[in-house]
Amino acid sequence: MTRQERMKNKPYQRELRRLHGELVAMQEWVKASGAKICILFEGRDTAGKGGTIKAITERVSPRVFRVVALPAPTERERSQMYLQRYVPHLPGAGDVVIFDRSWYNRAGVERVMDFCTEQQTHDFLQAAPGVERAIVDSGVILLKYWLEVSREEQTRRLESRINDPRKVWKLSDLDLRSYARWYDYSRARDAMFRATDTAWAPWYVADTDDKKRGRLNIISHLLSRVPYLPLPPSDVTLPKGQKAGGYREPDVSVRRVPTPF
């Protein structure tokens, strides 16, 4: 099979603009219907989770679309049932919640980097399908995406972070340690799929070596899984502007932003 040419920016922006309109229509349906949507993004480092989430959320309301990216657990959270700290972030009526990494940390990074025991991973993989069944049974539309990047493309992206001062903040010690464990991650991913790819909460895998195509494919799929209605045609007329009524600009000295551009 021939490798597909990377998507150019112009067709990407054109298609993204159209999909943004559909996401707004979905947002209005979610608000009106009280729907609850939960979207999980998982994948190796550099797979494009952040860029995909940004593409989804850049034209919608943050009051409806909420992104959850939890930090490392506190001591108290470590003493709780593992899934407990994620539950308060689940969507209520009229919410779309996007997890930038989720409870599946336990099946991925925590397992590979020895942040948890094999028994804890086993217990999690046993429990997750039941918890997700309860989430779905409560009326939540649950979508789980795994972003798949090749080893060669991951190497290229990590090297670009090293050499670009705009991206160096994205490069952590953990990224470098994870990079050396490609096949450990592959085994952890495979075990996760085997245990948690269920009829009620299946995994959807998206190839993201071409980030632009990957984002468009994911957004298109997401829209296809939500039974939203298209927006009615816009019929808005601006009201007449107010007359000055004697108003004049005040003679007040203010500090203006410099204009070097």
Between these two residues, 178 and 197, which has the higher pLDDT value? 197
Q: 120: which 2 tokens? A: 């804890």
User: Does residue 38 sit within a domain?
Assistant: yes
| Per-residue confidence (pLDDT) for residue 235, from 0 to 100 | 86
User: Does residue 18 sit within a domain?
Assistant: no
Give me the domain span that covers residue 135.
24-225
Torsion of CA 131, 134, 138, 141, to 10 degrees: 60
| Per-residue confidence (pLDDT) for residue 202, from 0 to 100 | 98
Q: How far is CA 119 from CA 13, 116, 122, 126, 167, in A?
A: 46, 8, 5, 11, 36
Residues in the chain, overall count: 261
User: Does residue 238 sit within a domain?
Assistant: no
Find the range with the poorest average confidence among 115-129, 150-164, 197-211.
150-164
CATH of the domain at 215: 3.40.50.300
Find the range with the poorest average confidence among 46-50, 143-147, 233-237.
233-237
User: Does residue 246 sit within a domain?
Assistant: no
**Residue 21: pLDDT above 80?**
yes
**Residue 66: pLDDT above 50?**
yes
**Distance, CA of 154 to CA of 12 (rounded, Å):** 22
User: Does residue 136 sit within a domain?
Assistant: yes
User: Does residue 201 sit within a domain?
Assistant: yes
User: Does residue 84 sit within a domain?
Assistant: yes
**Residue 37: pLDDT above 80?**
yes
| Per-residue confidence (pLDDT) for residue 1, from 0 to 100 | 41
User: Does residue 230 sit within a domain?
Assistant: no
| Per-residue confidence (pLDDT) for residue 56, from 0 to 100 | 98
Cβ distance 41 to 98 under 8 Å?
yes
- Calculate ∠ Cα 201-206-207, nearest 5°: 155
Instruction: Phi first, then psi: give them for residue 200, nearest 5 degrees.
Output: -85, -20
Q: What's the number of domains the chain is made of?
A: 1
